[in-house]
Amino acid sequence: IELVSQKSKLHPKPEGLTLQYGTAGFRTHAKHLDHIMFRMGLLATLRSKKTKSTIGVMVTASHNPEEDNGVKLIDPMGEMVTAAWEGYATQLANAEQDSLLKELKDIIKKEDIDMSEPASVYVGKDTRPSSASLSQAVLDGVSSLGGKTHDYGLVTTPQLHYMVCCCNTHGCYGSPTVEGYYQKLSQAFLQLTQNALNRTDDQKRLLVDGANGIGALKMREMEPFLRSELQVVLSNDGSSGKLNHMCGADYVKVQQKAPQGMNMGVGERCCSFDGDADRIVYYYTDSKGCFHLLDGDKIATLISTYLKELLTQAGLNLQIAVVQTAYANGSSTRYLEDVMKVTVCCTKTGVKHLHHAAQEYDIGVYFEANGHGTVSSLLNNAILQRQSPGKRAVKLLESTINLINQTVGDAISDMLMIEAVLAIRGMSAQDWDAIYTDLPNRQLKVTVCADRRVIDTTDAERRAVSPEGLQDTIDTLVKKYKSARSFVRPSGTEDVVRVYAEADTQESADSLAHEVSLAVYRLAGGIGDEPKPL
Ligand code: G16
């Protein structure tokens, strides 16, 4: 512990700076983060000693602009750290320099941590220029508490989650190497696509927008493993453009348009990763040049329909549910509940919330509309072996489970899963899109001068409880439009308040989103110019 005192001086905290643990960890401009990284190295070491397992620390700000950075902490089974430890993270992050040791000792005492236990921390980083020195700060933090590190260098966030899970399951989940990850996923993908009818090269072609980030690098590495069963045409591969700038999953989802730098033919399947490759959205343009987005809700529908059918064919009576957030398009929820008859539940934003809700079911398909999600499943080989193992549906389920990265949303794994399902079912992007029609929607951001948490929400973020009068105003506005819904919430990754609106027409959705933004601007102390109509 004395070494911590010395080493922490090399990663000093700017006095008075306080940061909150957000939707997926700390995230802000990279220049404020050196001390945070060192301290998260300390915390991961304590967590490792406490759980007697390997813990992961990923340096990334995912969809945020290139200048930002952040940190995601990974628990033993590859999930996000628990709420109690998020609290400790905030405690350590905001301790002034001279009270760091005191706070550290406080956590050790509260958690009754045996400091003589060994510790092991896996570290990874994305391609941001600031990630190299920030991940070094994490490594310093771990070593100053005597922990062992394995630096994976440049990896996607879900790859690091996978490594942590492989390590702590002693290889049962797979081998904790990037090569092991490619092998496991590609084998499952190749097995699944053997069940597809003869596909032409055109059908095997997929345009991938790598967001100029780590996903592009890793896609290149993985390509040979896929043996031309998937023919990836990569754009925004990081060779020239800026990370997430006019490209990537968040840009495509929020702007509802194609990324720059992608040459899309009519009807061609295209997809975009985000900056750390834990999100994916699909899209295509039709013969009239109209852009069609296939977002996380459409992905959840495709995957849950496929799984439900396989379970029936395999004679397995397992409960399947879909977990969404308030951002889920109203049409998707209606389709899932009314047509597919699956249980749908709604949680707060943040995959950590969806992941836990999904674990309540035998099979939980969870996706945020922004394309962040995966499947959590109790299905394992032992269960499948009891169901006549030769059966086609059982074999398909087995490969499907191997293809899914069950630890967290994973753009590469989700992409392979979607490609396999479309291939097996002989579906085009248009067929998939036609399952249901999205309600037109709009997302906007409002910047407020005070702490954005002046907006407090309840009911899985669907209703605002403060500031006073805001929810009443939203209710009144929503009543003016048909099939309308709107909500506001403070972002946990950017310094903005997010506004979502949907309605029967794009004009109505745009107009409602604008009116609600104005209400936020007026009642929550907006800064800058008043929001303008779209
Ligand atoms: C993170 C979280 C997601 C969340 C997104 C936006 O994604 O992991 O669950 O939907 O932030 O959160 P917010 O609306 O609170 O800013 P990523 O891909 O940026 O890590």
Instruction: Quickly list DSSP for 243-273.
Output: TTTT-SHHHHHHHTSPPTT--PPTT--EEEE
Q: What is the mean pLDDT of residues 255-270?
A: 96
β-strands 280-285, 270-273 pairing:
antiparallel
Q: Quote the ligand 1 centre to 392 CA distance (angstroms).
A: 37
- Nearest of 107, 119, 106 to residue 56 by alpha carbon: 119
Q: Which two tokens stand for residue 481?
A: 């439009």
Give the per-residue pLDDT at 488.
98
Q: What is the mean pLDDT of residues 502-522?
A: 98
Q: Which two tokens stand for residue 136?
A: 């070094």
* Boundaries of every domain in the chain: 2-154, 441-523
Give the per-residue pLDDT at 451.
84
Which residue lies with its CA nearest to atom 3 of ligand 1?
350
Q: Is the separation of the CB atoms in 508 and 487 below 8 Å?
A: no
Give the per-residue pLDDT at 464.
97
Confidence of residue 386 (pLDDT cuts 50, 70, 90): confident
What's the CA dihedral at 380, 382, 388, 389 to 10 degrees? 70
- Nearest of 283, 259, 270, 260 to residue 233 by alpha carbon: 270
User: Could you tell me what percent of the chain has a pLDDT over 90?
Assistant: 94
Tell whether the model's pLDDT for residue 475 goes beyond 70. Answer: yes
Pocket lining: 39 vs ligand 1, CB cutoff 6 Å: no
Q: What is the mean pLDDT of residues 357-380?
A: 94
CA angle, residues 156, 419, 309, in degrees to nearest 5: 115
Residues in contact with 300: Cβ distance below 8 Å, sequence separation at least 6, in sequence order:
322, 324, 332, 336, 365, 366, 367, 373
Pocket lining: 63 vs ligand 1, CB cutoff 6 Å: yes
3-state secondary structure 497-512: EEEEEECCCHHHHHHH
Q: Can you name the residues that pair with 122 across neighbouring β-strands?
A: 56, 150
Tell whether the model's pLDDT for residue 390 goes beyond 80. Answer: no
Pocket lining: 461 vs ligand 1, CB cutoff 6 Å: no
Tell whether the model's pLDDT for residue 195 goes beyond 70. Answer: yes
Helical (H) or strand (E) element with 199: none
Pocket lining: 143 vs ligand 1, CB cutoff 6 Å: no
CA distance 93 to 97: 10
Q: What is the mean pLDDT of residues 282-304?
A: 98
Q: Which CATH number fits domain 441-523: 3.40.50.11540, 2.140.10.10, 3.30.310.50, 3.40.50.300?
A: 3.30.310.50
Confidence of residue 197 (pLDDT cuts 50, 70, 90): confident
Q: Which of 493, 495, 496 to mutate to test the pocket of ligand 1 (most atoms within 8 A of CB)?
A: 493
Q: What is the mean pLDDT of residues 100-105?
A: 97
Confidence of residue 59 (pLDDT cuts 50, 70, 90): very high
Fold of the domain built from segment(s) 2-154 = Alpha-D-Glucose-1,6-Bisphosphate; Chain A, domain 3 (3.40.120)
Q: What is the mean pLDDT of residues 72-97?
A: 96
Q: Quote the ligand 1 centre to 116 CA distance (angstroms).
A: 36
- Nearest of 499, 492, 502, 487 to residue 446 by alpha carbon: 499
Return the ligand 1 atom nearest residue 63 CA: 19
Tell whether the model's pLDDT for residue 382 goes beyond 80. Answer: no
Pocket lining: 24 vs ligand 1, CB cutoff 6 Å: yes
Pocket lining: 328 vs ligand 1, CB cutoff 6 Å: no
Cβ count within 10 A of residue 475: 11
Amino acid at 430: Q
Single out the catalytic residue among 62, 186, 377, 511. 62
The pLDDT mean for the chain works out to 96
Tell whether the model's pLDDT for residue 379 goes beyond 90. Answer: no
Q: Quote the ligand 1 centre to 23 CA distance (angstroms).
A: 6
Pocket lining: 492 vs ligand 1, CB cutoff 6 Å: yes
β-strands 120-125, 68-74 pairing:
unpaired
Q: Quote the ligand 1 centre to 165 CA distance (angstroms).
A: 22
Which residue lies with its CA nearest to atom 20 of ligand 1?
62
Catalytic-residue membership of 62 = yes
Pocket lining: 278 vs ligand 1, CB cutoff 6 Å: yes
What confidence tens digit (pLDDT) does each residue in 397-434 have? 999 999 999 999 999 999 999 999 999 999 999 999 99
- Nearest of 266, 262, 298, 261 to residue 282 by alpha carbon: 298
Phi, psi (5° rounding) for residue 447? -100, 130
Tell whether the model's pLDDT for residue 346 goes beyond 90. Answer: yes
Confidence of residue 107 (pLDDT cuts 50, 70, 90): very high
Give the per-residue pLDDT at 259.
98
Tell whether the model's pLDDT for residue 450 goes beyond 90. Answer: no
Q: Is the separation of the CB atoms in 216 and 240 below 8 Å?
A: no
Give the per-residue pLDDT at 300.
98
Q: Quote the ligand 1 centre to 447 CA distance (angstroms).
A: 17
Give the per-residue pLDDT at 389.
65
Q: Quote the ligand 1 centre to 276 CA distance (angstroms).
A: 11
Pocket lining: 370 vs ligand 1, CB cutoff 6 Å: yes
Residues in contact with 479: Cβ distance below 8 Å, sequence separation at least 6, in sequence order:
none
